A and B are shown apart, each in its own frame.
Chain A
């Protein structure tokens, strides 16, 4: 087995035992990038030189007997909306095609021992479900190159699935980690809102955005999550509290765990093969001692609408700063200020971004605020209350991650509403600020991966990971890297 095929836990052990070096691991992953990146297109920037330099530094420190974190030397991909000091950070947009942040995101400060192999492709400003709206190029699904990897963190998911990274960070505003994890057959965690600092994550929708990990095993995701979580004085919305111990691997114990299946997530619109795969996973968990019960989350059907209004409203404000003055793209030959703004923004943003900025501007504009934005916020409170009530009777909620397997590239590009429907199972989790974990649970008729979503009460990441581990132990690992063809 090549080093790039290993999980982070395995690699970490090998490096600790000096059975391999960080440089060898980095070279193995960079070798895989050289082989398959032309087909997958997971990256916007590959940071080969920096990665090798960091790997050698780690090896040097290890040789000196320094105590290193478990993530030291692990090759990692970082979504290109997470600011990396001195390294191009584009958000997949022409608007930031040349932006080099002079600061690190807090998560990067917490991962100083990791070996960053590159900045992963994404839908422009994280707005999309297919990774097709990047200004730079589209990313293909490693399990079937004609399929989308899901979005918006499609590059991060594809990199991990294709062995072009061992771990990756993505961001999730309405499903942008869980959907690509599901489509690419890997594990992805959207942490509780506030569990991971957003400082340095280029904002899409501030009240919903959350950074989270991708990996090819539950342990790997747990390991990366424990490294990045925790309160941050730079992010007022981050929660100062106790977080899972970084050395405590998920237990795999689900005895007595009450798992709720909300009927609204298994009804019309969900493919039969998806339902069957998820129910099969449910029966495995039941066999291992979990208690399964049907529940109801009646407002689910309205969540997507509320999500689009809230996220677009915040986005319209967050993206107003891109005006050609301080950083990024600036239109040439403009006469006055207004022309500079309008030309820069019209040329620098893609259509999906413009659509959302305009939707957000509309719902906040004078005369429409109460009917749209305020109503969406009311609905948000109602959805949160329904989840809270549900969690009085169960420890976890289990749903499909998406109604179906990955769709073909180009299939939904001209129909925003159809594209948005891919997020129907995931947005509620962001709306309610809960943790959500997507775990592979089989394949569809097209041989593309399917995923199930575990949802917990706030800060119950450990419960999600424990349950996912139980399923992984029984159903086999998710780590196999497909033949890229």
Chain B
């Protein structure tokens, strides 16, 4: 399996330096090759498990956090908001 490392990196918002691309590509291909020896499984895969139903939360308000706590780890904030490079609008 040939892996388009640059396409995958773009999807994952990573930029892979040219000198490392070959290494990553080789390692990824090795890992994927290991995964390709999996047997064909005939048993169906059930994506839901009704035997373990999820407990739902009651619709009751719990206090929000102070804005300072929400923003204190943000690298860049202004006017009570997190700041990002201007998005097209």
Q: Which positions in A face B, CB cutoff 8 Å?
A: 98-100, 102-103, 233, 236, 240, 302, 304-306, 308-309, 316, 320, 323-330, 334-343, 345-346, 349, 351, 354-355, 357-359, 361-363, 365, 372, 374-379, 381-382, 416-417
Contact = CB atoms under 8 A, between A and B. Distances in A.
Contacts, number: 131
Contact of A417 (B14, B30, B44, B45): B30
B15 A343 contact: yes
B1 to A, nearest CB: 9
B5 A358 contact: yes
Contacts of B69: 102
A133 B59 CA distance: 42
Interface in B22-62: 24, 27-28, 30-32, 34-35, 37-39, 41, 43-47, 54-55, 57
Contact of B85 (A308, A328, A334, A376): A334
A174 to B, nearest CB: 14
Contacts of A377: 45, 47
A342 B14 contact: yes
B66 to A, nearest CB: 8
B85 A335 contact: yes
Interface of B: 3, 5, 8-9, 11-17, 20, 24, 27-28, 30-32, 34-35, 37-39, 41, 43-47, 54-55, 57, 65, 69-70, 72-76, 82, 84-87
B interface SS class = loop
Contact of A379 (B3, B41, B72, B75): B41
Nearest to B20: A351
A35 B70 CA distance: 39
23 contacts: A102-B69, A233-B55, A236-B54, A304-B34, A305-B35, A305-B37, A305-B38, A308-B34, A320-B12, A330-B76, A335-B85, A338-B13, A341-B13, A342-B15, A346-B14, A358-B5, A358-B14, A359-B31, A362-B3, A374-B45, A377-B47, A382-B41, A417-B34
Contact of B30 (A324, A357, A416): A416
